Structure 1
Amino acid sequence: MLPLAGIRVLDFSTLLPGPMAGLFLVEAGAEVIKIERPGTGDEMRSYSPRLGEDSANFALLNRGKRSIAIDLKAPDAVAQLTSLIERTDVLIEQFRPGVMERLGLGYAALSKINPRLIYCSITGFGQTGPRRDMAAHDLNYLALAGLLSLTGDREGTPGMPHMSIADIAAGTYPALINVLLALLQRQRTGQGCRLDISMTDNLFVLAYWGLADGFAAGAWPTAGSALTTGASPRYQIYRTADGGYLSAGPIEQRFWDVFCRLIELDEALRDDAKDPAAARAGVAARIAAYPTAHWRQVFEGQDACCAIVANLAEAVRDPHVVARKIFDRHVSAGAETIPALPVPIDAALRDSAVIKSAPRLGADSGLVGSGG
């Protein structure tokens, strides 16, 4: 018996945060039904590259789900969905605040139909506050939460994060955590609840150390000024002679001693507290003197907290990743398959099916009005 067997989820969300939360839930045994726009469906279906009729992105995020196509603006949309809502445990939506209410699908209305409903709203800024209606994307949330300012070089120019940090770390994961907590609470009370997931709010936890420095000591970190933002030679990315990169994190003294010995750093620079900039430059010169393969061999099996920077293609073929079998499951779309997203659910709690398909748009629309 999977932990979420018997739990039904209606997912009104599109693109990334909500669909990924739904993916985690379906992999743990829940029945997840996507509510999609007729004709086009989830915008993610249109992305490239293609896998079958839809995009590979869509397939990865919607493995094992079902799909209902319905025009939510139709006068009878709520009536068509009522029988499903009565038998639903969790609803996920990520429209701007007020949209679901205008459609007649707000929490106040649906909780009267189903008092046990857990209603999870994912937005950029939450259901209240002066920015609640502001249009924004991942990069904007990072900017407003202060995190983007910490990615810069020592001149302070912010770096471009090439992954969806806010969507996943501050949207998907908090949504999943709160849904699971709400299900536990409902076991005790019999009542559902409204969950307000603000991606910008939830980003602040990622800067816990900066908040500690700022609130307790008034030492608000900036790019290049703190241990993990570029000030220290002990937490840096160094370029090798052939254009590769070494990620070096020998923060603790025992690791730093090993690191300095392995790269043969000048003894005068090993007490980096005296002149961090000089030590940083000295380490950079040593790493730049030899190619990537040399440093890979030097640090192999050593306790120095160092790793060569891999590209994504190299990372998925790494012997450790292969041994862990994290890409052994697959998602199919028609006759095509690709490795499934390795969701962070332990094998003991996850559906063991090796291959699951992504849903065709509207394939389960027969559930509407049937009470199925």
Structure 2
Amino acid sequence: MTARPPLAGVRVLDFSTLLPGPMAGLILADAGAEVIKVERPGKGEEMRSYVPRFGDTSANYAILNRGKRCIAIDLKAADAIEKLRPLIESADIVIEQFRPGVMNRLGLGYETMKEINPAIVYCAITGYGQNGPLRDEAGHDQNYLANAGLLMLGGDDAGKPVIPPGLIADIGGGSLPAVINILLALRQAEATGEGAYLDIAMTDGLLAWNWWAQAMLSTTGKVARPGGELLSGGSPRYRIYETADGRYVSAGPIEQKFWENFCAIIGLSKEMWDDSRDPASVIQAVAACIKAKDAAHWRQAFAGQDICATIALTLDEAMEHPQFSERGLFARTVTDGTAEMPALPTPLAPVFRNADPQAASAPALGEDNDEFLKQTQSGEPAE
């Protein structure tokens, strides 16, 4: 890591909750920004109540909010804007995640903040954006995936879509596009003195994930079938196969050289190597080969081979893998009193990520009120 983190001196005022905004804030914090979370007095944001517990707080909250600051303030209070004015004046970035119009009703919309600080970069993350017929519709990750057409690209052998293992819309459609656009706007603000309003819609951010299916639709007129295309399980070259002991082989030998190596290693009959005529039959034949041996056999057979196939790891196995240990991805830790756990790796290049072990805690609710609002953690004025 460089001696000075790239975002050192950048202040982020974060009104967001749950996952998309806090993940974006975590990435910015890992790059050196000072992130100040703004939460409601009393209980704070909802994720503080989530289980499992980690010390005195939620493990989910702690892993997303390590190393941040926190103030607790009633945004509906008549004097909220004036109390926040010094922070708005000094902030470079604002992140909020309310439904469209909420921050305006609170008197904390972009136009108000722009009058106080013309260079402010204001990022609003929502499910569907600030306009359009769906702008006020409630939703969660899989709802956004469904409306973007992405949910229907993956499915089981019967074509039924399955719940994705990761919150793709929240992170891939929300957090990451937010960070990208924040950094672009920050560069613009530094050059011109003018900030920007960023309308980040998680569903909009998912549309790029449909790239191959969109290309297929635009050129052939065919809608991709869940579980039926090259990258959605319709090809024997891109499938998940079960082993004899109930583990799984993630096989992706799409290119011909990888496919031929893969077929030879698993012992597939030579007449089945041509998968262009009857892909379904080849899938069954490959599945039978993989099912005949356990994961240990295939792990050894695949080792050092050019075949794009691997045993699917559980999370605990992945976290202990020497690949990630050598790259220092879990070197940081989150602490809470005597409790400690590995910190969540953020997608920063190693040059911007501290490779040395560094413990950080998530902030207690309102712990920085006295510094930033001249108040106690309870929300009462300091004596």
Relative to the length of structure 2, the TM-score reads 0.94
Moved more, 352-361 or 142-151: 352-361
Which amino acid in structure 2 is aligned with residue 191 of structure 1? E
1:360 is the counterpart of 2:360: no
Q: 2: distance between equivalents of 1:326 and 1:4?
A: 20
CA contact (8 A) 1:82 1:369 kept: no
Cα distance, 1:173 vs. partner? 0.1
1:33 is the counterpart of 2:36: yes
Which amino acid in structure 2 is aligned with residue 49 of structure 1? P
Which amino acid in structure 2 is aligned with residue 55 of structure 1? S
Which residue does the alignment assign to 2:342? Answer: 339
Spell out the pairing of 1:268-283 with structure 2 (5 A cutoff): 268-283=271-286
Which residue does the alignment assign to 1:257? Answer: 260
Q: 1: distance between equivalents of 2:163 and 2:68?
A: 33
Identity %: 56
Which residue does the alignment assign to 2:377? Answer: none
Which amino acid in structure 2 is aligned with residue 251 of structure 1? I
Q: 2: distance between equivalents of 1:243 and 1:51?
A: 32
Q: 1: distance between equivalents of 2:357 and 2:102?
A: 36
Cα distance, 1:163 vs. partner? 1.6
Q: Secondary structure at the residue paired with 2:231?
A: helix
For the aligned residue pairs, the C-alpha RMSD in angstroms reads 1.2
Q: 2: distance between equivalents of 1:315 and 1:368?
A: 41
Q: 2: distance between equivalents of 1:367 and 1:133?
A: 36
> In 2 relative to 1, CA 267–350 (structure 1 residues): closer, same or farther, beyond 3 Å?
closer
Q: 2: distance between equivalents of 1:348 and 1:40?
A: 37
Which amino acid in structure 2 is aligned with residue 117 of structure 1? I
1:159 is the counterpart of 2:162: yes
1:171 is the counterpart of 2:169: no
Q: 2: distance between equivalents of 1:299 and 1:134?
A: 48
Cα distance, 1:231 vs. partner? 1.2
Cα distance, 1:102 vs. partner? 0.5
Q: 2: distance between equivalents of 1:130 and 1:38?
A: 33
- Give the unaligned 5+ runs of structure 2: 375-383
Cα distance, 1:123 vs. partner? 0.3
Cα distance, 1:131 vs. partner? 0.5
Which residue does the alignment assign to 1:138? Answer: 141
Spell out the pairing of 1:119-268 with structure 2 (5 A cutoff): 119-268=122-271
Q: 2: distance between equivalents of 1:242 and 1:64?
A: 42
Q: Secondary structure at the residue paired with 2:370?
A: helix
CA contact (8 A) 1:242 1:292 kept: yes
Q: Which residue of 291, 297, 305 corresponds with 1:288?
A: 291
Q: 2: distance between equivalents of 1:158 and 1:365?
A: 47
Which residue does the alignment assign to 2:22? Answer: 19
CA contact (8 A) 1:68 1:367 kept: no
CA contact (8 A) 2:66 2:334 kept: yes
CA contact (8 A) 1:170 1:203 kept: yes
Cα distance, 1:88 vs. partner? 0.7
Q: Secondary structure at the residue paired with 1:191?
A: coil
Q: Secondary structure at the residue paired with 1:229?
A: coil
Which residue does the alignment assign to 1:326? Answer: 329
Q: 2: distance between equivalents of 1:8 and 1:205?
A: 30
Cα distance, 1:277 vs. partner? 1.2
Q: 1: distance between equivalents of 2:16 and 2:169?
A: 16
Query: For this pair of structures, how many residues does the alignment match?
Result: 370
Q: 1: distance between equivalents of 2:28 and 2:328?
A: 21
1:299 is the counterpart of 2:302: yes
Which amino acid in structure 1 is aligned with residue 234 of structure 2? A
Which residue does the alignment assign to 1:105? Answer: 108
Cα distance, 1:353 vs. partner? 6.3
Q: 2: distance between equivalents of 1:154 and 1:310?
A: 22
Which residue does the alignment assign to 2:57? Answer: 54
- Give the unaligned 5+ runs of structure 1: none
The 4+ residue runs of structure 1 with deviation greater than 4 A are none
Which amino acid in structure 2 is aligned with residue 274 of structure 1? R
Which amino acid in structure 2 is aligned with residue 363 of structure 1? E
Q: 1: distance between equivalents of 2:220 and 2:122?
A: 40
Q: Which residue of 93, 96, 100 corresponds with 2:96?
A: 93
Relative to the length of structure 1, the TM-score reads 0.97
Cα distance, 1:303 vs. partner? 0.6
Which amino acid in structure 1 is aligned with residue 274 of structure 2? D
Q: 2: distance between equivalents of 1:67 and 1:120?
A: 19
Cα distance, 1:143 vs. partner? 0.8
